[in-house]
Structure 1
Amino acid sequence: MKFDCIIVGAGSMGMAAAYFLTKAGKRVCAIDAFNPPHTNGNHHGETRIIRYAYGEGVEYVPLALRAATLWQQLEQQVNKHLLLRTGVANIGDNDNPFIHTVIESAKKYDLPLEILNAEEIMKRWPGIQVGDNMIAAFEPTSGVLRVEDCVAAYKELAINEGAKVRINESVQHIAFGNTVKVTTANNTYEADSCIICAGAWTKKLLQQYNLPLNPIRKTFAWFEAEEALYGEANFPAFAVELSNECYYGFPSINGAGFKIGRHDGGETVNPDKALREFDVSDTADLRQFLATYMPQVGTLKEGKVCKYTMTPDEHFIIDFLPEQSNVIVATGFSGHGFKFSSAIGEMLAQMVTDGKPQLSNELFKLNRF
């Protein structure tokens, strides 16, 4: 059977795209080397932050707001609670550029945002300890997405709409042309168009394009925590922007424990090899941060590893491949992409059906490199 579109990589972006394309009447085949949702990419670990006043760039705000609308629609479609409105506190020195872009984003798009000084931060959230020159830009309407549930929800809807989802099939080769041929270990599939969103494996699949992608080992962990201080009813999701470090975290949700990770740093990895397991050095790094800023957090419960796929400027790539008007690459989501995956799935579907998305992808074009 020939398809209208083959999607290589059926994780967060790919599964959402599969749903929106099948809903538009397209014959879709989504192929994944594993069985989404899974722990081999970067969409696992229970939770991701969703925020709208965006420190990485004001240009992201329309995409974030569209994503929020689509997440709310998805909740209604599958009748599951996917978005927890815990609020998000962005914390840093009062002259921190990231914090100021958050404030600028809120002003430009009239988003609710509360600015707290150090004394107000520690009064509202006694579990946080900050320096005198630090402020928080607190966004009360943002919160936390349940990531595996989100991917599973789009998978369910896509299949219900008629998408073919091929799991545990590793793509070996993609041949371009008026008809795109995708060869796996088991089969060859043909389609009029193709979306490639294979995460850390994208660069290998598209070696001839030498995409500026760097797969990086990342870690996150859960710690014992007093619910009165760090539970979801009393504590926000957060990011702490320091001069040369950035940490992010989540309140204890359903008693799971206080979750924290480091956004910057990490080591380049081969995606085909197993990641080094979470170890004592990872614990020590997180503990050093906690001792200073959240000293009442308790002992380690569990640590896990995942992968970021980074671009040099930490902005995404969402574009047609050079000289391939029927092949789109969506990659380099660089540790801050999941929240957008509903809207990016819709964007990819629009690029297949209409040739361009309704929201601009100018920031994400390949020719910037």
Structure 2
Amino acid sequence: MVYDTIIIGAGTMGIAAGYYLSKRGKRVLMLDSHNPPHDKGSHHGDTRIIRFSYGEGENYVPLLLRANELWRDLEKESSESIFLQTGVLNSGKEDSTFIKNVISGSATYNLPLEVLSSEEINKKWKGFSLPETFIGCFESMGGILKTSEIINSYRNLASSNGAEIRSNSKVVSIKPNSDKVVVSTKEQSFEAESLIVAAGAWSKWILEMLDLELPLQPLRKTFGWYEAKNSYEYPNFPCFTFETDNGTFYGFPSINGRGIKVGRHDGGVPVNPDKPLRKFNDKDDLELKKFLNDHMSENDFTLNEGKTCLYTMTTDEDFIIDQHPVFKNIAIAAGFSGHGFKFGSVVGEILSDFISTGQNRFDLSSFKQNRFKKIS
């Protein structure tokens, strides 16, 4: 059988692309070296934040607004609850680039945003204890995406549309040309008219099979849930992202008593994704506790559970969403640098558009792979 499209990687972006292509009636094969949803990539840990007045840059906002529409569509089609509207507090020093981008993005796209002093924040949410030098930008429309429910919904819907998913199928070679691609695992080979690479932490090695050398570095990251008092419980406490002198941290309210969830966004240790990650340890715990003790009113946090995951970083921390420079029947989604999950729906749609029509509705100039070409 010749497929219309083979997708390497059935995690966040790949499974979404598989769904949108299968919805168009395409014959789709998804290959994954594990069995999504799983804890070997970047989508586990139950929850991800979605925010809209984006501190990483205004060029992301149109993608986020479309992603939000598509998440609501998925919720209806799957009959699953995948979103909790908690609001998101972005906080840091007023002159930080992140905070400036949040404020400018909300103005450009007319997004609801409440700018608050640290005193106002500490009064509004009793759980916070922010220094006087901080301000906060509260996005009421932001909140929580449920990762496992999303991956499973896309997987079930794609399967019901006829898409084929082969788990535990590691790709060992790719032979492309302009009108077909042959992809081989250890067990067998498959042929398709087009290919999508969305292999997460393994993207660098997959793309090397296609003669693309891109600066993609997997990092070990940590996050944990901490026992917390009622002031941190959903729905009375928001999600948050904080830019501090000691790093950038993010967090979630306690849901069903599990505890306040917190992680560090920047930093991280380079790793080989084929080797087991070093488990969450006392050093990781101390780093997250220090953030909590410095910025929350409670000062006696007890770890309930700590976990590790993978970020796949580009050197500029922006995404790669593009077509292969030689083979236009190959689309690429890689290097989501720890802030990609919220875009999964729209990236899946974009990849589907690339493959189906060669067109898309967005300005993706910031995300092209050729920005990494060496200047001689």
Shift of 1:187: 1.6
Query: Percent same amino acid at aligned positions?
Result: 49
2:305 matched to 1:299? no
* Distance in 1 of aligned mates of 2:122 and 2:207: 49
Runs of 4+ in 1 over 3 A off after TM superposition: none
Shift of 1:295: 4.5
**For residues 160-189 of structure 1, what are the alpha-carbon distances to aligned partners after superposition, in whole Å with 9 as ceiling and x for unaligned?**
111011111111111111310111122211
Shift of 1:356: 2.0
2:66 matched to 1:66? yes
Residue number in structure 1 paired with 2:354: 351
Residue number in structure 1 paired with 2:242: 240
Aligned counterpart for 1:267 among listed residues 261, 266, 269: 269
AA partner of residue 326 (structure 2): E
Shift of 1:41: 0.6
**For residues 308-332 of structure 1, what are the alpha-carbon distances to aligned partners after superposition, in whole Å with 9 as ceiling and x for unaligned?**
0000111000111221111111100
Residue number in structure 2 paired with 1:41: 41
**For residues 262-320 of structure 1, what are the alpha-carbon distances to aligned partners after superposition, in whole Å with 9 as ceiling and x for unaligned?**
00001100011010000011001111111111141620000000000000111000111
Residue number in structure 2 paired with 1:124: 124
Count of residues in correspondence between the two structures: 368
AA partner of residue 124 (structure 1): K
RMSD (CA atoms): 0.9
2:297 matched to 1:318? no
Shift of 1:244: 5.4
Shift of 1:232: 1.1
Shift of 1:243: 3.9
Residue number in structure 1 paired with 2:203: 202
* Distance in 1 of aligned mates of 2:204 and 2:279: 24
* Distance in 2 of aligned mates of 1:281 and 1:298: 15
Residue number in structure 2 paired with 1:191: 192
Residue number in structure 2 paired with 1:283: 285
Residue number in structure 1 paired with 2:180: 179
Structure 2 counterparts to residues 218-233 of structure 1, below 5 A: 218-227=221-230, 229-233=231-235
* Distance in 1 of aligned mates of 2:185 and 2:259: 40
Shift of 1:38: 0.7
**For residues 9-63 of structure 1, what are the alpha-carbon distances to aligned partners after superposition, in whole Å with 9 as ceiling and x for unaligned?**
0001000000100111111001111111111110000000001110101011110
* Distance in 2 of aligned mates of 1:184 and 1:125: 52
AA partner of residue 359 (structure 1): F
* Distance in 1 of aligned mates of 2:62 and 2:188: 40
* Distance in 2 of aligned mates of 1:219 and 1:260: 9
AA partner of residue 167 (structure 2): I
* Distance in 2 of aligned mates of 1:136 and 1:81: 29
AA partner of residue 264 (structure 1): D
* Distance in 2 of aligned mates of 1:176 and 1:243: 47
The answer to whether the 8 A contact 2:289-2:301 is kept is no
Q: TM-score normalised to the size of structure 2?
A: 0.96
The answer to whether the 8 A contact 2:126-2:297 is kept is no
AA partner of residue 347 (structure 1): I
* Distance in 2 of aligned mates of 1:187 and 1:149: 31
Aligned partner of residue 153 in structure 2, secondary structure: helix
Q: TM-score normalised to the size of structure 1?
A: 0.98
Identify the range of structure 1 (158-167 vs 355-364) with the bigger mean alpha-carbon deviation: 355-364
Identify the range of structure 1 (55-64 vs 243-252) with the bigger mean alpha-carbon deviation: 243-252
Shift of 1:360: 2.2
* Distance in 2 of aligned mates of 1:363 and 1:156: 33
Q: CA 1:244–1:283 in structure 2 vs 1: closer, same or farther (change >3 Å)?
A: closer
AA partner of residue 183 (structure 1): S
The answer to whether the 8 A contact 2:234-2:255 is kept is yes
Residue number in structure 1 paired with 2:6: 6
Aligned partner of residue 129 in structure 1, secondary structure: coil
* Distance in 1 of aligned mates of 2:366 and 2:283: 36
Aligned partner of residue 206 in structure 1, secondary structure: helix
AA partner of residue 205 (structure 2): K
Aligned partner of residue 306 in structure 2, secondary structure: strand
Unmatched 5+ stretches in structure 1:
none
Aligned partner of residue 148 in structure 1, secondary structure: helix
AA partner of residue 200 (structure 1): A
The answer to whether the 8 A contact 2:251-2:263 is kept is yes
Shift of 1:206: 2.0
Residue number in structure 1 paired with 2:165: 165
Aligned partner of residue 44 in structure 1, secondary structure: coil
